[in-house]
Structure 1
Amino acid sequence: MFQHMRASALWVLARHGDAYRARGWVQGEWSGRKLIKEQVSAMQQKEFTVTCRGRGLVDITNRIRDWVAETQVKTGLCHVFIHHTSASLILSENADPDVCADLERFMARLVPDGDPLFEHVAEGEDDMPAHIRSVLTRSDLTIPVTGGQLALGTWQGIWLWEHRYQAHQRRITVTVQGS
């Protein structure tokens, strides 16, 4: 089947109208049908840990920004995932530290530690509130990559929000896909 094809590379062909699309940089013909030149979509992944000293927010923007630049992806998506149920990720302002303090005060009012409503207290009075805080926020974020950089707004930063009082090592996976 492929002996009739003259191409510099071939990865995957998929029917696309009268032409065939090939993933990768492809030029050539296949039984008289043209191949459309298309750049391959690359996917790269990295895992790292963040040391949290206890409840509060840790700005992880620069760590992710630097790695996205290393991938050399110019246009695509950056997906950030935290592997824990008592910490979360948020996209928030990174210019004024009062924002972090206000967010923490708001969450303390919304989900107070030691509430007698909670039965799950195996690891302390902050255990179930930490799980609820995590559910109310996010365990993942997706940010566009434009021009080889995270396409964040002027004051936006990526934050790991630790919801437990004790220090923890938190595992983060960052996946970048694009071309």
Structure 2
Amino acid sequence: MRIHQDQLVVATKGRGPVEISSRVSDLLRSWQLRNGLCHLFCKHTSASLTITENADPTVLQDLEGYFTRTVPDGDRRYAHSMEGPDDMSAHIRSVLTGPGLTVPFNQQGLCLGTWQGVFLWEHRTQRHSRTVVITFLGE
């Protein structure tokens, strides 16, 4: 059993998803592991990781629309607004979607379904540089 750890720095363009599946797969190939688990961890409280549809972009639009309606920016009920009106809503969105994922892999790569992709989801309205720690445990 071998463990390899690396980091991805993901530049976001502001609120929304950034697919990172291919970048994770590239790292996996570089370590030449046959099978095991890939764990991803987002080191931020206003961005998150998720696995969702990667073929039809309207799915991503609908998900963002759901968050916009359900977790609005600048809600006067939020006490925390230290970094602006999108601050607390970004934290809530991150809690709902989560900072980590575990995906199995084999010789063919990540064991994702046909229409699945791994996404870093930026929840702030401004662009950011986000760090994802990736740990491969395999043989």
Q: TM-score range by the shorter chain?
A: over 0.9
Give the structure with higher Rg (CA): 1
Work out whether residues 72 and 148 of structure 1, in 8 Å CA contact, stay in contact via their aligned partners in 2.
no
Question: How far is 1:148 from its partner?
Answer: 4.9
2:88 paired residue among 128, 131, 149: 128
Aligned partner letter, 1:128: M
Residue 58 (1) aligns with residue 15 (2): no
Structure number with the bigger relative contact order (C-alpha 8 A, sep ≥ 6) is: 2
Question: How far is 1:75 from its partner?
Answer: 1.1
Structure 2 residue matching 1:101: 3-state secondary structure: helix
Query: How many Å separate the matches in 2 of 1:156 and 1:172?
Result: 19
Q: TM-score, normalised by structure 2?
A: 0.98
Identity of aligned residues (%): 50
Residue 87 (1) aligns with residue 61 (2): no
**Aligned structure 1 segments of 4 or more residues deviating by more than 4 angstroms:** none
Query: How many Å separate the matches in 2 of 1:97 and 1:67?
Result: 25
Partner of 1:167: 127
CA distance 1:115–1:125, change in 2 (3 Å): same
Query: How many Å separate the matches in 1 of 2:20 and 2:8?
Result: 11
Query: How many Å separate the matches in 1 of 2:92 and 2:82?
Result: 15
CA deviations on 1:45-103 (whole Å, 9 max, x unpaired) are 11121100100110101000111111111110000111000000000010011111000
CA deviations on 1:25-57 (whole Å, 9 max, x unpaired) are xxxxxxxxxxxxxxxx00001112110010011
Q: Which has the higher helix share?
A: 2
